[in-house]
């Protein structure tokens, strides 16, 4: 049930969530490094600064390069409307909407990759190739998780899947494996460690960052907003999956409060993980992603056990 109040809250979360998610992660990293760190709202100030600038284009860049960031942002928003970011209700919900989410984001990624290739730079081509490889490997994980949760809950919409309340041991098994797989997917979608490093300056190791090297001004702002929005939505999804009151229409306040607390905790957890773990070698990333696929597969097989029991 989507009341006007929930819609307003969701819209607010769409606007503030991305900034806070990135801000909290940055602040957590600063604390671990023994520094004071930038203000929590620094990502917002960065976006404002970028929007004021004029974009610069390379000689080889065509319209694809200019359009790509906006397609990416539009796709992230369009896909995101089905995500119950606050654990209560999404803006929009329909059967099999998780397919919509996956492929809307896939479209955004394809646009970004085309924009990168459009520059004609060897770096950006390399980044696009890595992004494509990683995306190919996480997509099965995402669908295995959604499939498993769908079998477990009997629901076909994302909000329903994420509102799963594990009761039996089999439930917990499927749920736990799903959380593990989804965490990896969220970290990959958000271009975070240990597969990608948003803070690196090394062109040759970048994945997401190198694809956007040539972008500037408002278009760079759009790309950064896209990444932040996907991260915030991912965190919201994970929180909804963990939240014991997720989708509980009888306890909207409790569901919302719990989701916010869990989201904050997840952002701090991601920041801490990034501070304490080193980045994986590129050759090890496929193995890490395969772990997510296996976790998704385990979740799906777990539902069989659940059905037999």
Residues in the site for another protein, rule: CB under 8 A?
29, 32-35, 122-123, 125-126, 193-194, 197, 199-205, 213, 274-284
Nearer to another protein, 14 or 134 (CB): 134
Nearer to another protein, 37 or 106 (CB): 37
CA 290 from centroid of its chain's CA atoms: 18
Q: How far is the CB of 256 from another protein (least distance, A)?
A: 33
Backbone region of residue 233 per phi and psi (left: phi > 0; alpha: psi in -120 to 50; beta: other values)? alpha
Q: How far is the CB of 185 from another protein (least distance, A)?
A: 20
Q: How far is the CB of 29 from another protein (least distance, A)?
A: 6
Q: How far is the CB of 227 from another protein (least distance, A)?
A: 17
Within 13 A of 72's CA, how many CA atoms are on the CB side? 30
Q: How far apart are CA 220 and CA 169, in angstroms?
A: 47
Q: How far is the CB of 293 from another protein (least distance, A)?
A: 21
Q: Is 98 helix (H, G, I), strand (E, B) or coil?
A: helix
Task: Say how many C-beta atoms besides its own lie within 10 A of residue 223's C-beta.
Answer: 24
Q: How far apart are CA 161 and CA 148, in angstroms?
A: 9
Nearer to another protein, 156 or 279 (CB): 279
Q: How far apart are CA 217 and CA 53, in angstroms?
A: 5
Nearer to another protein, 118 or 274 (CB): 274
Nearer to another protein, 278 or 309 (CB): 278
Q: How far is the CB of 124 from another protein (least distance, A)?
A: 11
CB-based contacts of 290-293 (< 8 A; 24+ apart in sequence): 290/137, 291/184, 292/137, 292/138, 292/141, 292/180, 292/181, 292/184, 292/185, 293/137, 293/138, 293/140, 293/141, 293/144, 293/181
Nearer to another protein, 29 or 208 (CB): 29
Q: How far is the CB of 193 from another protein (least distance, A)?
A: 6
Nearer to another protein, 118 or 171 (CB): 118
Q: Is 233 helix (H, G, I), strand (E, B) or coil?
A: helix
Nearer to another protein, 116 or 241 (CB): 116
Which tokens in the block code for residue 112? Answer: 């970004």
Q: Distance of CA 139 to CAs 110, 136, 302, Å?
A: 14, 6, 19
Residues 6+ apart with CB under 8 A from 161: 98, 146, 149, 150, 153, 155
Q: How far apart are CA 300 and CA 145, in angstroms?
A: 7
Q: How far is the CB of 19 from another protein (least distance, A)?
A: 22
């Amino acid at each position: 049930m989507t009341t006007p109040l929930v819609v307003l809250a969701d819209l607010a979360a769409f606007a503030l969530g991305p900034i806070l998610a990135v801000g909290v992660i940055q602040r957590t990293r600063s604390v671990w490094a023994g520094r004071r760190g930038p203000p929590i709202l620094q990502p917002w100030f960065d976006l404002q600064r970028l929007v004021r600038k004029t974009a610069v284009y390379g000689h080889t860049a065509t319209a694809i390069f200019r359009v790509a960031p906006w397609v990416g942002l539009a796709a992230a928003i369009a896909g995101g409307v089905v995500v119950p970011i606050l654990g209560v209700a999404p803006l929009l919900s329909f059967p099999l909407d998780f397919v919509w989410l996956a492929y809307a984001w896939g479209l955004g990624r394809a646009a970004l990759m085309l924009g990168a290739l459009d520059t004609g730079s060897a770096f950006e081509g390399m980044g696009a190739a890595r992004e494509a490889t990683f995306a190919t490997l996480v997509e099965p994980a995402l669908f295995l998780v959604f499939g498993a949760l769908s079998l477990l809950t009997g629901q076909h919409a994302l909000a329903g899947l994420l509102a799963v309340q594990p009761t039996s041991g089999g439930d917990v098994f499927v749920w736990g494996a799903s959380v593990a797989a989804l965490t990896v997917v969220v970290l990959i979608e958000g271009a975070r460690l240990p597969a990608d490093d948003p803070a690196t300056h090394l062109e040759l190791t970048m994945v997401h960052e190198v694809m956007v090297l040539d972008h500037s001004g408002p278009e760079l702002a759009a790309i950064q907003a896209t990444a932040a929005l996907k991260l915030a939505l991912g965190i919201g999804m994970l929180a909804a999956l963990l939240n014991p009151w997720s989708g509980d229409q009888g306890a909207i306040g409790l569901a919302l409060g719990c989701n916010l607390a869990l989201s904050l905790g997840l952002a701090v957890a991601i920041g801490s993980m990034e501070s304490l773990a080193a980045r994986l070698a590129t050759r090890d990333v496929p193995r890490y992603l395969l772990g997510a696929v296996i976790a998704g597969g385990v979740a799906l097989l777990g539902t069989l056990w659940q059905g037999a029991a």
